[in-house]
Structure 1
Amino acid sequence: MDTRTLPLLCILCLAQLQLHGGDGVAAISGGTNDGSERWGYVQVRPKAHLFWWYYRSPQRVSSLAKPWPTILWLQGGPGASGVGLGNFLEVGPLDGDLKPRGSTWLHKADLIFVDNPVGTGYSYVEDDALLVTTDGEAAADLAALLRALAAGELPSLRDSPLFLVAESYGGKYAATLGVSLARAIRAGELKLTLGGVALGDSWISPEDFALSYGPLLQQVSRLDSNGADSASKKAQVVKQHIASGQWKLAQYALSSMLTAIVANSGHVDVYNFLLDTGMDPVAAGGAPARSFPPAYSVYLDSKLSVGDSIRSIMNGAIKEKLKIIPKDVVWEEQSYTVYNALINDFMKPRIQEVDELLSYGVNVTVYNGQLDVICSTVGAEAWVQKLKWDGLKNFLSLPRQPLHCGSSEVTKGFVRSYKNLHFYWILGAGHFVPVDQPCIALNMIAYDKCSATIKTNSKEL
């Protein structure tokens, strides 16, 4: 594979549960005296350490009729840092200049960020052989993290409805972890309120996204008919490799396809088709992929106001604040080592996992930015139509409802809901919905707090 194409793919980038800490799980933690923040490491496997950061909402009220929710944010990549990107650049209490964020999701829930999988951000392994190679292995590590936190540092998890909210490749983690938790709850092995799973611009079906690129970019004039035809032919190659289970070849074909699309479209930003990337994907010649600025962070860094870059902050002021980060752990937005370790799972769909969640009665929300390319709304609509869930026909037949923010009468999006499936179309947003449309994203989270719990035979677990 030509390493010059790799950066283009590093973009993908809630009934009470008694969680039992796993044998041999070790933890090291820190936090504030007032209990508003806690952070630390959990050794999820011998020599494999996940870093987490928890924020308690100042709006948390324990006397509410419904328990206050907790959101576990799962970043994409694979290998992109949730503690850095999701926290400081998207929904955490402070922005990239370490100033208060008015649209923080702490207004509606407690927040947990994690550098997942191990090897990402502040998380680390003592041997690269311990890196996860499948979404299932990543889910097992996350489940171990939740068990340890509920048994120790965060006992509120035992009675707080837990929402898994994901972005990009994080959607594959969320679907896989959600199924793992749901199965354990139904089997009586865990007692947890799994409030729901929210899939934001999520890489659930690589095939459906690949097939959408040519037609979408032609419709918005970023490709002409020749460019769109070429992209569609390349997408068929991707589809064929997926059908035959040749996952690496499918990834390579997708990489080649994206390289051609960027070149033929005037360097369209694959996160937002109204923008250019501002970087030439082939300019560095034969330089190794790790020499490129990670594409996942380029767009988000452009949203920062004047101040230090996120990398400087995470390796400077934040590392000093936390005090427990090993000296030899250098924070990066994107870990190519983690990305490469998951190469055989990258192109595998997770539609079946979403179907299983729906069948259990778990609340599933799909939300997508109108302007996204890499995880396009057209692609998300396509994979949703492949669901075998018995409520799909009724869901698809319902009209959408317009969404607004505050006193404005301007339509900001649409939503369609039936039973435990919800789909949000977010207008004017690209891949990073909370960044582009913070008001509507916050409203969406508030709406989805009231979601279904896991049920079996009409009896709540």
Structure 2
Amino acid sequence: MRVKLVFFALCLATGAFGKIGFGPGEQEWGYVTVRPNAHMFWWLYYTTAKVNISYYEKPLLIWLQGGPGASSTGYGNFEELGPLDLHLNYRNYTWVKDYNILFIDNPIGAGFSFSTTLSGFPKTNAQIAADLLECIRSFLLEFPDFASVPTYITAESYGGKMAAEFANVWYQAQKNGSIKSNLKGVAMGDSWISPIDSVMTWADYLLNMGMVDQNGHDKIQARANLTKKAVDNEKWFIATNLWSLTESAIYRVTNNIDFYNILYKKRPNEILEDRSAKDKLLKVDFSTGLDEDSDELLDELMNGAVKKALGLQVAWGSQSSMIFDLLQVDFMKPVTDQVESLLNNTDLTVLVFTGQLDLIVDTPGTLLWVERLKWRNASDWKSASRDPLIVDNVIEGYIKQYGNLKMYWIDRSGHMVPTDNPEATEAMLADLTRNAWD
């Protein structure tokens, strides 16, 4: 399907704060040169909520996509939580109706972000966090009224790995006064925090869900055990390659299960001939396999109507494949220490959420690392009650909380929680921001 240019219908008015971009509401966008030759793109949607005086009455939520290398302005915006979906229909559960939303194409090379030299691409999670801090520092200098607005980092998949370290360095910068801001919390969804915990629970998860038999389970577990051995020996590059081989084994044994929601309909044997496991992580397939290829449609939209509307010269996604290759050593490293630091050394709200139908970062693996966290309230958190999340008299999931840690189990949802269960997501965000102005 060709993307229709319906600009005139989507952008009817401008206002005092932002400008006409692509889609409804007022917007801003721009680049920050975070290091020499490294240019990070951001895109702000002012909330469409009714406000008394200004948009600054509503919290600011920053969205970081995963991959690494997937685009927040593309996937996150049009596939998950922006005001328009991929077919340019209005999204009923867009986050913009309640919050100001800042999409950041991160790391350098994702989406519209780019580098003119190889040295401009990050190779570590620490460099990614530093780049993000420089981006938000510049953003707040350009829009100083947001400095006092309650701000939350929200992230998905590998974005959660980046968010954990980003939140730490941002909090410390805020504390020492080198940045004026009001960071209040971080929400990490189906996040690649402890990769080996996901890999080591895949076989059991698939067996328990009826997706493999014992023979298939054992084939997957054998690959996973090799991956764990490499992780235990800190052979990180080898571990990443073995992770990919473990995924390949799952595709073969299950005849192409959808890693992002195990109940999505898929055609059989649509496997790895022309797309490797790492490419499937980077180019998230949101379709059921029965309609148009969403990747091609999104590429057409971003490099066509969106690029033209925003007046950009960079080809969206043209450097994304380089990001994974440069981060292969970092890919399988855990960042549980970063989450522990957030819990022990900050007063930020730390929210972890997991979709029960996600395989790539499955719920059993997530629960393993969460319950291993070493922090001051670990014992009390483990013994805290797990309560139902009820929305419109329907149980949409469960929540467990103590101190500054919240964990949400989201029902009927895979990897992309905002897409699969927007009702639960809306309630979760309301809880995250409940005490924003305290």
> How high is the TM-score relative to the length of structure 2?
0.88
Match of 1:20 in 2: none
Match of 2:234 in 1: 245
Residue identity opposite 2:327 in structure 1: L
Supply the distance in 1 between the matched residues of 2:277 and 2:66 (Cα, whole angstroms): 17
Supply the distance in 2 between the matched residues of 1:137 and 1:99 (Cα, whole angstroms): 37
**Relative to structure 2, which stretch is displaced further, 362-371 or 156-165?**
156-165
3-state secondary structure, aligned to 2:90 = coil
Closer/same/farther in 2, CA of residues 175 and 343 from structure 1, 3 Å limit: same
| Contact kept? 1:267, 1:276, Cα under 8 Å | no
Match of 1:380 in 2: 366
Closer/same/farther in 2, CA of residues 113 and 300 from structure 1, 3 Å limit: farther
| More helix per residue | 2
Q: Are 2:210 and 1:221 aligned?
A: yes
Residue identity opposite 2:33 in structure 1: Q
Q: Are 2:179 and 1:190 aligned?
A: yes
* Aligned equivalent of 2:131, options 141, 147, 158: 141
Residue 269 of structure 1 deviates from its aligned partner by 0.9
Closer/same/farther in 2, CA of residues 414 and 377 from structure 1, 3 Å limit: same
| Contact kept? 2:248, 2:277, Cα under 8 Å | no
Match of 1:349 in 2: 334
The answer for unaligned runs of 5 or more in structure 2 is 1-17
1:375-454 mapped onto 2 (5 Å cutoff):
375-406=361-392, 409-451=393-435
* Aligned equivalent of 1:298, options 276, 279, 285: 285
* Aligned equivalent of 2:322, options 331, 337, 345: 337
Supply the distance in 2 between the matched residues of 1:410 and 1:306 (Cα, whole angstroms): 33
Residue 268 of structure 1 deviates from its aligned partner by 1.0
Supply the distance in 2 between the matched residues of 1:384 and 1:290 (Cα, whole angstroms): 26
**Relative to structure 2, which stretch is displaced further, 375-384 or 387-396?**
387-396
Residue 276 of structure 1 deviates from its aligned partner by 5.2
3-state secondary structure, aligned to 2:347 = coil
Match of 2:7 in 1: none
Supply the distance in 1 between the matched residues of 2:243 and 2:33 (Cα, whole angstroms): 35
Match of 1:314 in 2: 302
Residue 302 of structure 1 deviates from its aligned partner by 5.8
3-state secondary structure, aligned to 1:188 = coil
Write the deviation string for residues 296-339 of structure 1: whole angstroms up to 9, x where unpaired: 3322586988998111111111111001x22xx32239821111
* Aligned equivalent of 1:89, options 79, 90, 93: 79
Match of 2:141 in 1: 151
Aligned length: 415
1:70-85 mapped onto 2 (5 Å cutoff):
70-85=60-75
Residue 282 of structure 1 deviates from its aligned partner by 3.1
3-state secondary structure, aligned to 2:391 = coil
Write the deviation string for residues 386-436 of structure 1: whole angstroms up to 9, x where unpaired: 100111111111221112223xx3311111111211010100000000111
| Contact kept? 2:95, 2:101, Cα under 8 Å | yes
Supply the distance in 1 between the matched residues of 2:265 and 2:137 (Cα, whole angstroms): 43
3-state secondary structure, aligned to 2:329 = coil
Residue identity opposite 2:204 in structure 1: P
3-state secondary structure, aligned to 1:165 = strand
Closer/same/farther in 2, CA of residues 386 and 333 from structure 1, 3 Å limit: farther
Closer/same/farther in 2, CA of residues 334 and 426 from structure 1, 3 Å limit: farther
Supply the distance in 1 between the matched residues of 2:98 and 2:420 (Cα, whole angstroms): 19
> How high is the TM-score relative to the length of structure 1?
0.84
| Contact kept? 1:67, 1:159, Cα under 8 Å | no
1:250-269 mapped onto 2 (5 Å cutoff):
250-269=239-258
Match of 1:235 in 2: 224
Closer/same/farther in 2, CA of residues 295 and 253 from structure 1, 3 Å limit: same
| Contact kept? 1:170, 1:202, Cα under 8 Å | yes
| Contact kept? 1:56, 1:111, Cα under 8 Å | yes
Supply the distance in 1 between the matched residues of 2:277 and 2:263 (Cα, whole angstroms): 27
Supply the distance in 1 between the matched residues of 2:278 and 2:301 (Cα, whole angstroms): 20
Residue identity opposite 1:352 in structure 2: D
| Contact kept? 2:105, 2:112, Cα under 8 Å | yes
| Contact kept? 1:87, 1:113, Cα under 8 Å | yes
Match of 1:13 in 2: none
3-state secondary structure, aligned to 1:273 = coil
Supply the distance in 2 between the matched residues of 1:290 and 1:200 (Cα, whole angstroms): 21
Match of 2:11 in 1: none
3-state secondary structure, aligned to 2:388 = strand
Residue 253 of structure 1 deviates from its aligned partner by 1.0
Residue identity opposite 1:182 in structure 2: Y
Residue 373 of structure 1 deviates from its aligned partner by 0.5
1:34-73 mapped onto 2 (5 Å cutoff):
36-59=26-49, 61=51, 68-73=58-63
RMSD (Å), alpha carbons = 2.7
Q: Are 2:271 and 1:281 aligned?
A: yes
Closer/same/farther in 2, CA of residues 59 and 52 from structure 1, 3 Å limit: same
3-state secondary structure, aligned to 1:97 = coil
Match of 1:161 in 2: 150
Residue 190 of structure 1 deviates from its aligned partner by 2.8
Closer/same/farther in 2, CA of residues 292 and 207 from structure 1, 3 Å limit: closer
Supply the distance in 1 between the matched residues of 2:300 and 2:272 (Cα, whole angstroms): 26
| Contact kept? 1:420, 1:452, Cα under 8 Å | no
3-state secondary structure, aligned to 2:240 = helix
| Contact kept? 2:67, 2:281, Cα under 8 Å | no
Closer/same/farther in 2, CA of residues 372 and 334 from structure 1, 3 Å limit: farther
| Contact kept? 2:264, 2:288, Cα under 8 Å | no
Write the deviation string for residues 211-234 of structure 1: whole angstroms up to 9, x where unpaired: 110100000111111221222232
Task: Report which structure shows greater RCO (CA 8 Å, sep ≥6).
Answer: 1
Supply the distance in 2 between the matched residues of 1:354 and 1:396 (Cα, whole angstroms): 16
Closer/same/farther in 2, CA of residues 304 and 162 from structure 1, 3 Å limit: farther
Supply the distance in 2 between the matched residues of 1:426 and 1:373 (Cα, whole angstroms): 14
Write the deviation string for residues 136-164 of structure 1: whole angstroms up to 9, x where unpaired: 11111111111111111x22321111100
Closer/same/farther in 2, CA of residues 93 and 385 from structure 1, 3 Å limit: same
